[in-house]
Amino acid sequence: MNPQTVRKPYAQIPTTDGLVSPGRRPAIFVTGAASGIGRACAELFAQRGWFVGLYDINADGVAAIAASLGQGNATYGVLDVSDADAWQQALADFWTQSGQRLDVLINNAGILSAGSFAAVPLAKHYAMLDVNIQGVVAGCHCAFNYLQRTPGAHVINMASATAIYGQPDLATYSATKFAVRGLTEALDLEWSKFDIRVSAIWPSFVRTAMADGFEQMPSAKSLGIRLTPADVASTVWACVTEKRLVHKTHWTVGLQAGLLSLATRLAPSALSRWVVRHIAR
């Protein structure tokens, strides 16, 4: 199959009790699913008939969300995404619960420490590297065999508009999202021969717990915190299901991220640098 072809969602075949049997409906594995963007994605896909796996370090959070989605519609577990052994265990359990399919993996889990680079403790810089980069690498690596065994599988990596140009006061976070961008581009090419698509989602500032206190950050003041988790989830849904004649690896969320992405592609680098500096003042 041409890797540039976007596939239709699998047919949803109801059972006698009104549910759709695992194994007969598409299945999605979401990290960082206890809140924010991860939760919004899990709930949206569940509402549209998918079997959902909710994974997070917050055990009570994913358990409560799974219960709210209804019996037979979800499974959940504790997952530290920087731990490869934990990934192996979570994926093996999900594979069994989903009827042996992994249609979509969403590498959403991430952490952020904002502030001037020197003022952020080194341990927090390292923690962002562990979760935001190591976690995505581990997820892709551990999930590969399951993805390869599911026709038309798709990996969604949660990047950020900070992967468009390095952001002051978010230096290491921005660097981790550049890494996610590069990994996504490379794997989308490398895995196309296995009928696996790999895409990145690029939102600007989103109203989640991660953004608490951002109102005082210059770039957030300039741009505002305009997006909701539901906005990002809608883009993820479009990325997974939308038919496109031209293959698209990166998906921006919101007008601001789209315009900034376009500007940095078209404008000279000196102008892009000036724009970002102006926003971050």
Give me the residue spans of the domains in the chain. 27-279
pLDDT value at residue 191:
98
Gyration radius of the chain's alpha carbons: 19
pLDDT value at residue 215:
57
Q: What is the mean pLDDT of each run of 10 residues along the chain (281 residues)?
A: 30 36 83 96 97 98 97 97 98 97 97 93 98 98 98 96 85 95 97 97 70 53 66 95 85 66 53 49 55
Give the containing element (helix H, strand E) for 198: strand 197-203
Nearest-angstrom CA–CA distance, 19 and 16: 7
Nearest-angstrom CA–CA distance, 14 and 64: 25
Annotated catalytic residue, options 76, 146, 165, 173? 173
| Cβ within 8 Å of residue 274, ≥6 positions away | none
| Cβ within 8 Å of residue 60, ≥6 positions away | none
Query: Taken in order 119, 121, 127, 129, is the CA torsion positive or negative?
Result: positive
Is 27-279 assigned to CATH 3.40.50.720? yes
Query: Please, where are the H alpha helices in the chain?
Result: 36-47, 59-69, 84-97, 122-128, 135-148, 171-190, 218-223, 229-241, 255-266, 269-279
| Global model pTM greater than 0.85 | no
Q: Answer left, alpha or beta for residue 72, where phi above 0 means left and psi between -120 and 50 means alpha.
A: left
Coil vs helix vs strand at 82: coil
Coil vs helix vs strand at 5: coil
pLDDT value at residue 264:
58
126 in catalytic set? no
Q: Name the residue among 122, 169, 123, 156 with its Cα closest to residue 233.
A: 156
